[in-house]
Chain A
């Protein structure tokens, strides 16, 4: 029983990364109708960026947690302005292919510069050690990752539902024509929202640096899991993406306990089930689905 609980907590921690990544992917999709294949690559850049900053200028993890997402967010905005924006009016598959190409380039450039060996990144001193969760001790850092991801997700949700900017973003997502007719410049919000989504990926990357292997390929496999997560949760649904992120994390972790060989496959089996029963995703809107 303790073992199961421990796996569930593990699942919540790994689900934290899925949730943050799926959240960024969903926000970008909602605003632009673009599925960003390079999301995993930006997650990787977040972790590698934290490592490089520590290695070259000795920037602490706490500062990296602030600086790296901002830098990547700006990079993301430039990426949107220079490339993605050119294809937004066309079939969304073109942007899918464009961002796929960008992902290949980013991944290969990092591999050429730093190799495929994982770079070491130690936990910040403040979060070293473990805390007593009642039934078992648990690493402090992992608890922080979970709490942090929940706080970020809630803040994003509050920003979208309770602030003026959030209302504009949601309105532009759901009824772009009508929003424009009301005199709101939808176009103005596209680039910042894209940058914000990328910043979230970078944030997840910095959080991952002390926990996961930091290397050029770390974003390559996670992006496909994230795709499955957003299909399960319903792409474009912020709540659905985050919930599905934690859910997939927990299912994978529990699978680790009972069917270790197939734990990584479970997310795809779950996706198949969701497609059978609710093709729009658990929390997705039905409009996109044919019957």
Chain B
């Protein structure tokens, strides 16, 4: 117990040190990718791990913000911080109608419906060539902030990391607030949460929009960092990548998705530099193996082992990570078997 409590500040210090030291150890553009994907994965975790709603369409918000950020930065020449925030606002605005429609279903349907809406965003991005550049993408997005020289990715990383850390902090605040407790209550037992007087659907919409906003910050930083935004950003494989980061790292924890993002980005970079052109096979295999034998993910498993060692008597109040605990839809059917 004591050891575990002491672990928290230690972890935080380690996390901040890693965040600021990363571009010294690995190629700066890869470090920036890790940071952006980490925030994206954590944003998704608010829905998937904490509220029990598997969104398979978060590429819509990451990608919408990537395009919006790119357009704002290119057209207005404002500091990239403003462009990224603008992009995130666009993502949040798009999320509102999608959230209201998607929460009408739960469980497996929620995943299918969000996936379908993300595909709608993809088609719109593909058609709206004057804005998005269609299949060519949006190229030559400037990196501009108060006249700083950000051409070197090493310096841009340090200019961008405060945004990412702010986003992660916001996610942490949401989870460790009364609002976050309600999210977990909804995941664990929506009927009971409703009986206690919480407007469950309204909470879900709020989490969805917050999650989309944070995913938007991540997508905006990614777009500025790469200097372009392409259709890949709104495609469903991007949503799948954020999901696999959560599953691998451990959903329902905040460190897990960050760890998952680090592993997946480094792995993809390794595969690309080693000339192994089989990202789909590797990602697919990670999905299959994790889901079959490792459902808590790396962080969840490590925490579980640590806890069972450090405190044997205290009953665990950390719920087992389950993508959804909503009892309706397909689940009740499956449970009958």
Name the residue of chain A whose CB is nearest to the CB of B54.
Answer: A93
Name the residue of chain B whose CB is nearest to the CB of A95.
Answer: B291
Stretch at the interface among B35-43, B163-171, B326-334: B326-334
Please report which residues of chain B, range 102-130, place their CB below 8 angstroms from some CB of chain A when the two chains form the complex.
Answer: 102, 104-109, 111-113, 115-117, 119-120, 123-124, 127
Q: How far is the CB of B165 from chain A (nearest CB, A)?
A: 29
Most buried by A among B111, B285, B332: B111
Q: Report chain A residues within 8 Å CB of B124.
A: 265
Q: Report chain B residues within 8 Å CB of A88.
A: 334, 337
- Chain B, residues 189-223, CB within 8 Å of chain A (1/0): the string is 00000000000000000000000000000000000
Q: Report chain B residues within 8 Å CB of A231.
A: 105, 109, 112-113, 116
Q: Would you call A109 and B281 a contact (CB within 8 A)? A: yes
Stretch at the interface among A54-62, A98-106, A146-154, A194-202: A98-106
Stretch at the interface among A66-74, A122-130, A206-214, A268-276: A268-276
Q: Would you call B292 and A86 a contact (CB within 8 A)? A: yes
Q: How long is the Cα–Cα vector from A29 to B109 in the complex, in angstroms?
A: 12
Given known contacts A98-B291, A177-B336, A289-B105, A92 and B331 CB-to-CB distance under 8 angstroms = yes
| 7 A–B pairs (Cβ distance < 8 Å), ordered by A | A35-B330, A91-B107, A97-B247, A108-B280, A112-B277, A231-B116, A288-B330
The yes or no answer to A176 lying at the interface (CB within 8 A) is yes
Given known contacts A91-B324, A92-B330, A275-B105, A97 and B243 CB-to-CB distance under 8 angstroms = yes
Q: Would you call A262 and B337 a contact (CB within 8 A)? A: no
A35: which of B108, B281, B336 is its contact (CB, 8 Å)? B108
Q: Report chain B residues within 8 Å CB of A262.
A: 123, 127
Name the residue of chain A whose CB is nearest to the CB of B286.
Answer: A101
Provide the main secondary structure of the chain B interface.
Answer: helix
Given A33-B331, A279-B105, A288-B329, 7 new contacts (CB under 8 A): A88-B337, A104-B284, A108-B279, A108-B281, A112-B277, A268-B119, A269-B120
Q: Would you call A101 and B287 a contact (CB within 8 A)? A: yes
Q: Report chain B residues within 8 Å CB of A224.
A: 115-116, 119, 236
Q: How far is the CB of B248 from chain A (nearest CB, A)?
A: 11
Q: How long is the Cα–Cα vector from A35 to B105 in the complex, in angstroms?
A: 15
Q: Would you call B324 and A105 a contact (CB within 8 A)? A: no
The yes or no answer to B295 lying at the interface (CB within 8 A) is yes
Q: Report chain A residues within 8 Å CB of B142.
A: none
Name the residue of chain B whose CB is nearest to the CB of A187.
Answer: B337
The yes or no answer to B278 lying at the interface (CB within 8 A) is yes
Q: How far is the CB of B172 from chain A (nearest CB, A)?
A: 25
The yes or no answer to A157 lying at the interface (CB within 8 A) is no
Q: Report chain A residues within 8 Å CB of B288.
A: 83, 98, 101-102, 105
Q: How long is the Cα–Cα vector from A90 to B237 in the complex, in angstroms?
A: 25
Q: Report chain A residues within 8 Å CB of B159.
A: none
Given known contacts A33-B330, A86-B292, A288-B329, A100 and B116 CB-to-CB distance under 8 angstroms = no
Most buried by B among A90, A103, A109, A177: A90
Q: Would you call A87 and B292 a contact (CB within 8 A)? A: yes
Please report which residues of chain A, range 217-276, place their CB below 8 angstroms from some CB of chain B when the two chains form the complex.
Answer: 220-221, 224-225, 227-228, 230-231, 235, 261-262, 264-265, 267-269, 271-272, 275-276
Name the residue of chain B whose CB is nearest to the CB of A279.
Answer: B104
Name the residue of chain A whose CB is nearest to the CB of B191.
Answer: A290
Q: Report chain B residues within 8 Å CB of A265.
A: 120, 123-124, 127
The yes or no answer to B283 lying at the interface (CB within 8 A) is yes
Q: How long is the Cα–Cα vector from A289 to B326 in the complex, in angstroms?
A: 11
Given known contacts A83-B292, A93-B107, A112-B277, A268 and B336 CB-to-CB distance under 8 angstroms = no
The yes or no answer to A107 lying at the interface (CB within 8 A) is yes
Q: How long is the Cα–Cα vector from A62 to B279 in the complex, in angstroms?
A: 36
Given known contacts A91-B324, A275-B113, A290 and B127 CB-to-CB distance under 8 angstroms = no
The yes or no answer to A96 lying at the interface (CB within 8 A) is yes
Name the residue of chain B whose CB is nearest to the CB of A269.
Answer: B120
Given known contacts A91-B323, A108-B280, A271-B113, A186 and B328 CB-to-CB distance under 8 angstroms = no
Which 9 A-B pairs give the minimum distances between C-beta atoms?
A101-B287, A108-B280, A104-B284, A105-B284, A33-B334, A268-B120, A93-B323, A101-B288, A227-B112
